[in-house]
Amino acid sequence: MNTSIRRMCLAALLLCSTGAVQAGIQLSSTRVIMNHEQKHVSVFAKNIVAEPYVVQAWIDGAAEEMETPFFITPPLSRFDAGVERRLTITRVGEGMPQDRESYYWINVLEIPQKKNAADNTLSLAMHTRIKLFYRPASVLKQPRGPELLQWRLGRDGGACRLMLHNQSAYTINFARIEIAGEAADFGRTVVALPLATTAVALSRCPATDTTQVIAHVVNDYGVVEAWPAATVTPATPAR
């Protein structure tokens, strides 16, 4: 199913559904890591409620591009109550960068069975996404940690942005970032791509240009770790 059709289906399900929603399919992890020597990795999906579901699974890129060097099986299956199945991710292509980690999205769409055949309403389909990381051989030898992340505060008039320069070959996933002792509200999940600079708009500017930042980072096991406090480089005016 292409991206536009899938989005239209999801939108229709959201608009036409009524009532409370409970996720019925539970995944065994919040992220999956594939090292260079692996061709297959797995995640388990389980139906934890009494109703049956049809489950569609697919993989897309970090920017939702549909062409990826992976496929997942089974792409479509029925989960009766209590059923647990293995979803297998297979690498079928190359072409990923060899000097840094790449990440993709594993998508699981759970479609509930209509309870009443005469009912004209649609039920809500729950869409779960977890990250898939691919690590080339060279990356496994590279260091990682807070010392490889540089912070800079940029000002543009009354607006501020936080510039995160990730010098490591790993993707950094932030659960929370505290600036000057207060949690920053970004309105979205922040990911610092490897060997790149990520700009994040702040809802408000810190009182001073030189301040401390504490990053709460999600590790390989889905556990949030607090990194030591770091100093944000003073602001640079926009040009």
Is residue 30 within 8 Å of 105, Cβ to Cβ?
Answer: no
Is residue 93 within 8 Å of 134, Cβ to Cβ?
Answer: no
Q: What is the pTM of this model?
A: 0.83
Is residue 60 within 8 Å of 112, Cβ to Cβ?
Answer: no
Going along the chain from its start, the domains and CATH numbers come out as: 22-139 (2.60.40.10), 146-234 (2.60.40.10)
Is residue 133 within 8 Å of 34, Cβ to Cβ?
Answer: yes
Which pLDDT tens digits describe the chain residue by residue (239 residues)? 444 445 444 444 444 433 445 679 999 999 999 999 999 999 999 999 999 999 999 999 988 888 999 999 999 999 999 999 999 999 998 889 999 999 999 999 999 987 666 666 666 789 999 999 999 999 999 999 999 999 998 887 778 889 999 999 999 999 999 988 888 877 677 999 999 999 888 888 887 777 899 999 999 999 999 999 999 987 655 55
